[in-house]
Amino acid sequence: MKTLLFSTLLLFAAIAPAAAAEAIGAGHEYDNIRLDAAPHSDASELAAALRVDPARTVRSYDAAMFGLSYDFTAHDRLGMAEAVPGEPLPRLLPDFPRVAKDVPLPLNRLWIIRDNWKWSIGPVAERRKHKRVPWEAPALQVAGPVETIRNILAVDPAAKFDMMVTVKDDEAVAQARQIAEFLTGDASTEWGKKRIEYGLAEPVDVALWELGNETDWSNPRLPIAEYVRLCKATIAAIRSVAPGAKFAPHAATAPWHETQKAHWKEWHRTLLKELAPDISCFAFHPYYHGYPVSFIENYMKQISDDIAASANPKITIFVSEHGLWPGGEPGEWKNSWYKTHALGGCLAVSEWFNRMLAHPEVSAMTMHAASSGPWGMFYPDPYGGKVYATALADLFKLYKLIPWGGKVVAAELTGEGTAFDGKLSLSAVAVEGDDGKLRVVITNRLPETARKISLDLGGRRVKHVYTLTADSVKEVNTAADRPVGISYRPGTEQDSRSFRAPSRSITLLVAE
């Protein structure tokens, strides 16, 4: 959501000078961003080798790793609902379910902002215009929490939710209890009855309650002692109406930043000391390229090591925001926003998926965002208003071709660009399903260089090949044109021995 976006933008504008490559002058808080150089090779083709060992299980292939974060103010422009004269409640529109059809939405991160949620539920005539974000004029929210959740459930009836509640003061604590009752209570409760009347008959399946957003970074910043106090109070308030609720406080924001280096470990260590029995995971926000994935994971490893030594070693990491960090175009920073959802953005997100699926301590992720500033899976056409899906929707559909619940197994890549460092350009993940089939995703981020990969799939033969690519990493899907897409062809005997991964491509091999 845009509030999240703003704080994250400020964060990366400040942290990025240490990353090597180009300076991006964009104005305001985006001055002097530095991004790691895009992967490149002068060769037309490079050799590599991939060995998959189905006997070595790494983790399960969890649906929760493919979640999506939502910007509260974007729901109206995504065609989720409209106010209709003579009808008290907003009418749902088909736009979002249409463009999101077949996109997996297993976990959905919604920000229920303090008391703003009350001004965005119920009859339209009783709703209040309000400042949905600090930098916008007051506006009426037509697609509020009820309409948003109903749209998501129309796409995926089994969808679960991460509800992020404001952690700021004691009033927000009181609001959190009411929010929990509204979302999970039955008709015998004050707020549960309202939810039913407003169009959500069944309680919402809240998998996780996220405790604030970057509270150590956002203005005003909360000191750790106050954050701990408010987290304890919020946990108690929500559990008073939802006893089985699970919680995720935030680890320190941007631990690599100059102002964070001295105390970032102390932040999550204090939370572990004070809250360990009551929490399920830590929320963490990485935006990559930006810093390379290998750099970011060093901080995640420290958090995991400290969890392992805590009173509750079962706590996991919840990546509640992630995405490509754009940049590199001259002029305004907005000139680079398209990169997050262009083919290059898909390649970066795919690489992140492949890496995170190698880590059992990462239990869930929600990509930022359904629709936001630079980041978006869905947008309204600026010319006609028609809502369309970007190539990120195709990326998620590709990973959904691998059935949830399979076993992620060991996959070892060798060759140039396969080392887990700042020059990583070729990555892979392998999943063995209950049907005995092996599914392997290979991501080649090199824009002009193919990879000839010798395969060891344990004697299995490639039967199906799905490839997501386009003519350039800068290609974007719009309402009028869809140059990025998934193609299919049957596998061949040659594919099973030596597979040629095209440049700038994400390939799914299905082997039997």
Query: pLDDT tens for residues 474-483?
Result: 999 999 999 9
Q: Please, which residues have CB within 8 angstroms of residue 101's CB and are 6 or more apart in sequence? A: 155
φ, ψ for residue 453, nearest 5 deg: -115, 115
Q: Is 50 exceeded by the pLDDT of residue 247? A: yes
Query: Within a domain: residue 275?
Result: yes
Q: Does residue 358 share a domain with residue 465?
A: no
Q: Does residue 316 share a domain with residue 419?
A: no
- The mean pLDDT of 115-132, rounded to a whole number, is 92
Least confident of 31-40, 203-212, 225-234: 31-40
Q: Is 90 exceeded by the pLDDT of residue 12? A: no
Band (pLDDT 50/70/90 cuts) for residue 24 is very low
Q: What is the pLDDT of residue 218?
A: 78
Q: Is 70 exceeded by the pLDDT of residue 498? A: yes
**Of the residues 340, 372, 401, the one at which a domain ends:** 401
Q: Please, which residues have CB within 8 angstroms of residue 252's CB and are 6 or more apart in sequence? A: 216, 260, 263, 264, 265, 267, 268
Q: How many helices (H) and strands (E) does the chain have?
A: 11, 25
In three-state secondary structure terms, 358 is coil
Query: Within a domain: residue 184?
Result: yes
Q: Does residue 431 share a domain with residue 389?
A: no
Instruction: Label residue 420 exposed, middle or buried (CB < 10 Å: 0-12, 13-18, 19+).
Output: middle
- Per the structure, the complete domain to which residue 301 belongs is given by 62-401
Query: Within a domain: residue 376?
Result: yes
Query: Within a domain: residue 389?
Result: yes
Band (pLDDT 50/70/90 cuts) for residue 1 is very low
Q: Does residue 418 share a domain with residue 396?
A: no
CATH, residue 389: 3.20.20.80
Q: Does residue 473 share a domain with residue 447?
A: yes
Report the C-alpha gap between 72 and 59 in whole angstroms. 33
**Of the residues 362, 379, 401, the one at which a domain ends:** 401
Distance of CA 173 to CAs 102, 207, 221, 234, Å? 37, 19, 17, 5
Band (pLDDT 50/70/90 cuts) for residue 22 is very low
Report the domain count for the chain. Answer: 2
Q: Does residue 365 share a domain with residue 263?
A: yes
Q: Does residue 443 share a domain with residue 323?
A: no
Q: Is 50 exceeded by the pLDDT of residue 3? A: no
Using the Cα atoms of residue 305, residue 307, residue 308 and residue 314 in order, give the sign of their dihedral: negative
Least confident of 33-37, 53-57, 384-388: 33-37
Closest CA to 49 of 497, 425, 443, 432: 497
Query: Within a domain: residue 332?
Result: yes
Mean pLDDT taken over the chain: 91
Estimate to the nearest angstrom the gap between the alpha carbon of 118 and the chain centroid. Answer: 26
Q: What is the pLDDT of residue 289?
A: 87
Confirm if 310 and 271 have CB atoms less than 8 A apart: no
Query: Within a domain: residue 25?
Result: no
Q: Does residue 428 share a domain with residue 336?
A: no
**Of the residues 370, 401, 432, the one at which a domain ends:** 401
Q: Is 60 exceeded by the pLDDT of residue 505? A: yes
Q: Is 50 exceeded by the pLDDT of residue 8? A: no
Closest CA to 394 of 464, 326, 463, 488: 488
Query: Within a domain: residue 375?
Result: yes
Q: Does residue 289 share a domain with residue 168?
A: yes
pLDDT in tens, 252-307: 998 888 788 899 999 999 999 999 999 999 999 998 887 889 999 999 999 999 99
Least confident of 290-299, 330-339, 405-414: 330-339
Query: Within a domain: residue 36?
Result: no
CATH, residue 477: 2.60.40.1180
Q: Does residue 429 share a domain with residue 372?
A: no
Percent of the chain with pLDDT over 70: 93
Q: Does residue 414 share a domain with residue 393?
A: no
- The mean pLDDT of 411-422, rounded to a whole number, is 96
> What does DSSP assign to residue 140?
-
Number of Cβ within a 10 Å radius of residue 17 = 12
- The mean pLDDT of 401-413, rounded to a whole number, is 98
Band (pLDDT 50/70/90 cuts) for residue 2 is very low
Q: Does residue 326 share a domain with residue 242?
A: yes
- The mean pLDDT of 467-476, rounded to a whole number, is 98
Q: What is the pLDDT of residue 220?
A: 77
Q: What is the pLDDT of residue 36?
A: 67
Number of Cβ within a 10 Å radius of residue 87 = 11
| Tokens describing residue 55 | 């006997």
